[in-house]
Structure 1
Amino acid sequence: MGTCRQIALLRGLNVGSAKRVAMADLRKLLTDLGFRGVNTVLNSGNVVYDCPEQGQPGPAEAAALIEEALVLKLGVAARVTVLDAEQLAHVVEDNSLEPVADDPTRLLVAVLSDPSDRERLAPLAHQRWEPEAMAVGRWAAYLWCADGVLASRAAAAMGTLLGDAVTTRNWNIIRKLHALACERPA
């Protein structure tokens, strides 16, 4: 029986003193849900795992399962966005801002919980943000925060528009997740 690789991004986990979860507890939680080969990346709610192709939950169902288990088992409420490996490959491939970004920690990828939010972002993507930039792909928006994330007008505008319907990762983390997602399942 084959497997399907998925990537879960937990919003706001281990940022400051709120929503603290040990990565060992997070791996156990996903393993208890029936996922296999569970790997976490860094200490901020990035998980790559496998699920059986037969009867697998799709990304939206997996996100709901993980959100519910976080509350019931760990007492933590966090928005979860799940992509499959192909969708994450599209996130990497659609990034048109990489050539202008000279610091991958300032190149944010805002993964959309609902891909239809691209339409809501279109007006922002067409604005001029110099020295910043914004682009929108199939599953994510890309923000070049030239002067840093906290000073970014584009990031602030997107946050106001979409709130917790997105979760952001910098380009380094997205590349690490993609590399892990491309590894062959054990």
Structure 2
Amino acid sequence: MTTMYAALLRGINVGGSRKVPMADLRTLMTGLDYGDVRTYLQSGQAVFSSAHGDEESLAAELAQAIEKQFGFDVDVIVRDHAYLKTVAEACPFPAAELEGKQLHVTYFSAPVGPERYAELDQPAYLPEEFRLGDRALYLYAPDGLGRSKLAEMLSRPRLNKGIVATTRNWNTVVKLVEMTES
């Protein structure tokens, strides 16, 4: 059975380094026998179909191919349509009432429990807030990610030790759900 997936590439095409042209990424993914390959924006989102593998093996295969093709390591998270849709539907914040730049989802490579953030003084960051979901963290940042002190704290390496984490704004979250629909 063929499943639609989204590949989330972490840290590419930012600040002039680690360039991965989307046309080249589409060609690379097609060469891996992925079907229906499309990219979204320049910041590392691609959707594709595959009848073989699971999320982890597809992510590893794509990461290895990117390193071979472009000469640098890229963290990749692959998630199927059902997961992406569930994450969007489970949003604990009023997404319909917010601008896309105010709401973000950080996708994790593995489950993350609340103990990871137990020492974080959440009230000190209000009105910014976060909530954990299934291998995801929802972040409400009313002034946007670039001005968010909470986002800065949440991205610290000690809080993300042992996992891959990559963040997308709400507009991208919704678009990936749409693009992975069969």
TM over 0.5: yes
**Is 1:118 the counterpart of 2:116 in the alignment?**
no
1:15 counterpart residue number: 14
- Distance, in Å, in 2 between the alignment partners of 1:12 and 1:148 is 19
**Is 1:97 the counterpart of 2:93 in the alignment?**
yes
Contact 2:114 2:132 in 1 (8 A): no
- Distance, in Å, in 2 between the alignment partners of 1:79 and 1:89 is 22
- Distance, in Å, in 2 between the alignment partners of 1:111 and 1:125 is 19
Q: How does 1:1-186 map to 2 (within 5 A)?
A: 2-52=1-51, 56-99=52-95, 102-115=98-111, 117-121=112-116, 123=118, 127-128=122-123, 129-160=125-156, 161-162=159-160, 165-182=164-181, 184=182
Unaligned runs of 5+ in 1: none
- Distance, in Å, in 2 between the alignment partners of 1:124 and 1:100 is 31
Structure 1 position 101, deviation (Å):
5.9
Aligned residues: CA RMSD: 2.0
Provide the identity percentage.
Answer: 33
Distance 1:170 1:125, change over 3 A: farther
Distance 1:16 1:118, change over 3 A: same
When structure 1 is superposed on structure 2, of 69-78 and 94-103 the one drifting more is 94-103
Distance 1:40 1:18, change over 3 A: same
Normalising to structure 2: TM-score of the pair?
A: 0.89
What per-residue deviation string (whole Å, max 9, x for no partner) do you get for residues 140-174 of structure 1?
10111112213322212211111672100000011
Normalising to structure 1: TM-score of the pair?
A: 0.87
Structure 1 position 121, deviation (Å):
4.3
Distance 1:100 1:124, change over 3 A: farther
Unaligned runs of 5+ in 2: none
Q: Name the aligned partner's letter for residue 4 of structure 1.
A: T
Distance 1:101 1:85, change over 3 A: same
- Distance, in Å, in 2 between the alignment partners of 1:73 and 1:181 is 25
Distance 1:155 1:33, change over 3 A: same
Distance 1:40 1:100, change over 3 A: closer
Distance 1:100 1:32, change over 3 A: closer
